[in-house]
Structure 1
Amino acid sequence: MKVLGIETSCDETGVAVYDTDLGLRAHALYSQIALHAQYGGVVPELASRDHVRKLLPLVRQTLAESGMTVDEIDGVAYTAGPGLVGALLVGAGVARSLAWALDVPAVAVHHMEGHLLAPLIEDDPQGRPQPPFVALLVSGGHTQLVAVDAIGRYRLLGETLDDAAGEAFDKTAKLMGLPYPGGPQLAALAEQGRPGTYRFPRPMTNRPGLDFSFSGLKTQVLLAWRDSEQSDEARADIARGFEDAVVDTLAIKCERALDEAGCETLVVAGGVGANKRLRAKLADMAQRRGGRVCFPRPAFCTDNGAMIAFAGALRLLAGQHEDAAVRVTPRWDMATLPEVGGQV
């Protein structure tokens, strides 16, 4: 089955073609960072308009790169939530229209399930991880630990009580004067920082449970920055201290989650999953336990069409699809999804 995937949940327009026999055929991504940078964050109306402008050209580009024509598409998958309602409606409208015109099924994909399944797209010498496993979903909008009992059957083990990890990266960067989007720049700056110069608390690791909290850590960084000489060296050292605190916290909670779930396979997805220090820390932890950790390639950590095409293909193969109505779900609990039977 050849599935066209469309992702327009926020500020990135993603399109991909996934072939269940041959794997990923092509993918393309357009980022709106330059558009929103002058405002210091995403402006929903501008995001929706830019999706309108870019989506159809990206569909044509992706099909051309895949060596396929639109008539060869067997199904269409699109992000239906969570996300910005206007942005979601752009992708859903185009996807439903294409599916109707081609007389093929269309399936609504949960954005976070797409992220959760993104590592499974990769060619892994050990094979794709099969449930049960634990997933760490860590991005600008979400920080969650999820027990994956089967594809489509998810149990929330813990989540952030305030800022998501990626959001904390972005806000901390802004506090220290780094331009939007600050998270990746803060991580790059941390590479220059001296470890241990600033040591910040590892929030909520001194008590039982799998929930997270990063707002207090952000405040500690603000106080340290105000009390410093605010030089480039101090900025780098504080960035390193902040990153180490976030990475250690995530690793501690992941290990607890593996213990609670009784398994040794960890899947990591979401934008913060591209962080080099986090990858190294979790890989060391998995090796020490004799387990396994799986990441998507960095390009598939952020929002992308490939994860939507892949997740949609699994559901279309299971016989799941939508009716002709155009619907989106800006707030959508992943626990309400139907299960997908069989092996991935």
Structure 2
Amino acid sequence: MRTSICILGLETSCDETGIAVYDSERGLLADALHSQVAMHQAYGGVVPELASRDHIARTLPLVEQTLVRAGCGLADIDAVAYTRGPGLAGALLVGAGLAAALAMAVDKPLIGIHHLEGHLLSPLLSDPALKFPFVALLVSGGHTMLLDVAALGNYRLLGETVDDAAGEAFDKSAKLLGLGYPGGPELARMAAFGHAEAFSLPRPKLHSGDLDFSFAGLKTAVLTRVNQLGANVCEQSRADLAAATQEAITDVLVKKAMDAMQRTGRRVLVVAGGVGANRRLREKLDASCASAGVRVHYPALQWCTDNGPMIAYAACRRIEAGLARPRRSYAFDIKPRWDLSELAEGETFEAGVEAPASA
């Protein structure tokens, strides 16, 4: 008799359709990801209606494909997990509706997962030896925050952005520099050819004494420099400004993260979210953590951006930890705005799933 928990996870919060099958004993069995980047490039950013329509077309075929690759049928799944929020309402509804239909079809539980918790736990996919507690630097899309993570579901906010997030600062600065979408990776690529010292840019709240972030002023400073350079700016100047922008953002992230380590006394730092893939950020964090005697963990690069494995994995861990309460209805909901602190109350299932006796 199988004692493991097998989860089908669906991620549709924004512009990636991610599907995965995760087993508590065998690990990740299969996953698939479709990115909408090419579709949104023409508009310079995500168009919510187009994102939702594309999820409708992609999600079910990707589910079928992933189940085949995992070597199992829908009836072999113990629960279906979906991203409940935060995210784009229309995109979330696509995943939630399909997840509920699949779960109902085989009379299996349904669980709504917090998108940011998925990111927060994603480094454990790459390194199962990573244990609680730790400090997390979560830099995903419109979110930049520092969290003291005592245990699964026990998250204490240490600081967060008061305006633009780090990802937004990357994307908006890239747009000001005339770079393509998505802006963050494009700015990082151009920065590799630049000299950061060529431009002096502010580091907002670097010495504020708290653990909050602010990047709106940096974006304004980049706009000022772009206007000063004029329309006929050379490629080297653009690369220099890109490098200076990246250096300013990462300086703040590293300083605040190390301050958080000192204040909490934790010895493990976890970095999660799309900005966590930035090479310069990793270089600087590696150096700072080595100097401070702190261990730092990152998710694998393919799991920095939105993906299905992080949703399936988060659901599996919640079941194992007993953070699930059974319920009978297959009604589902979404939470486009959802505070991570609400997870302390525990998640809910459409029907009961018990953790294996060995968990």
Q: Considering the TM-score relative to the shorter chain, is it more than 0.5?
A: yes
Q: Does structure 2 retain, via aligned residues, the 8 Å contact 1:18–1:309?
A: yes
Residues 50-92 of structure 1 deviation map (CA, whole Å, 9 limit, x = unaligned) = 1110000100111111122222111111100001111111101
- 1:267 and 1:160 map into 2 onto residues whose CA distance is 18
Is 1:112 the equivalent of 2:113? Answer: no
Secondary structure at the counterpart of residue 344 of structure 2:
coil
Instruction: For residue 139 of structure 1, report the CA deviation from its aligned partner.
Output: 2.1
Instruction: For residue 206 of structure 1, report the CA deviation from its aligned partner.
Output: 2.0
How many residue pairs were aligned?
340
Corresponding position of 2:332: 326
Which consecutive unaligned segments of at least 5 residues does structure 2 have? 347-354
Residue among 75, 82, 104 paired with 1:100: 104
Instruction: For residue 319 of structure 1, report the CA deviation from its aligned partner.
Output: 5.8
Corresponding position of 1:254: 257
Instruction: For residue 36 of structure 1, report the CA deviation from its aligned partner.
Output: 1.5
Instruction: For residue 142 of structure 1, report the CA deviation from its aligned partner.
Output: 0.4
Corresponding position of 1:335: 341
Corresponding position of 1:27: 31
Q: Does structure 1 retain, via aligned residues, the 8 Å contact 2:7–2:316?
A: yes
Secondary structure at the counterpart of residue 286 of structure 1:
helix
Q: Does structure 2 retain, via aligned residues, the 8 Å contact 1:78–1:107?
A: yes
Instruction: For residue 291 of structure 1, report the CA deviation from its aligned partner.
Output: 1.4
Corresponding position of 2:349: none
Corresponding position of 1:286: 289
Corresponding position of 2:181: 180
Instruction: For residue 23 of structure 1, report the CA deviation from its aligned partner.
Output: 0.7
Corresponding position of 1:133: 134
Which consecutive unaligned segments of at least 5 residues does structure 1 have? none
Structure 1 stretch displaced more, 227-236 or 267-276? 227-236
Question: After superposition, where does 1:1-344 map in structure 2 within 5 Å?
Answer: 1-123=5-127, 127-128=129-130, 130-228=131-229, 230-317=233-320, 318=322, 320=324, 323-338=329-344
Instruction: For residue 199 of structure 1, report the CA deviation from its aligned partner.
Output: 2.7
Structure 1 stretch displaced more, 316-325 or 56-65? 316-325
Instruction: For residue 147 of structure 1, report the CA deviation from its aligned partner.
Output: 0.9
Q: Does structure 2 retain, via aligned residues, the 8 Å contact 1:75–1:316?
A: no
Amino acid at match of 1:204: K
Instruction: For residue 195 of structure 1, report the CA deviation from its aligned partner.
Output: 3.3
Instruction: For residue 181 of structure 1, report the CA deviation from its aligned partner.
Output: 1.6
Residues 96-121 of structure 1 deviation map (CA, whole Å, 9 limit, x = unaligned) = 11111111111110000000000011
Secondary structure at the counterpart of residue 162 of structure 1:
coil
- 1:154 and 1:235 map into 2 onto residues whose CA distance is 40
Q: Does structure 2 retain, via aligned residues, the 8 Å contact 1:107–1:315?
A: no
Secondary structure at the counterpart of residue 60 of structure 1:
helix
Residues 111-157 of structure 1 deviation map (CA, whole Å, 9 limit, x = unaligned) = 00000000011136xx22x2221111102210011111111011111
- 1:23 and 1:282 map into 2 onto residues whose CA distance is 28
Secondary structure at the counterpart of residue 21 of structure 1:
coil
Q: Does structure 2 retain, via aligned residues, the 8 Å contact 1:15–1:305?
A: yes
TM-score, normalized by length of structure 1? 0.95
Structure 1 stretch displaced more, 236-245 or 63-72? 63-72
Secondary structure at the counterpart of residue 49 of structure 2:
helix
Residues 282-325 of structure 1 deviation map (CA, whole Å, 9 limit, x = unaligned) = 11111111111110011101000000000011122326156411
Show structure 1 runs of 4+ deviating over 6 A: none
Amino acid at match of 2:33: L
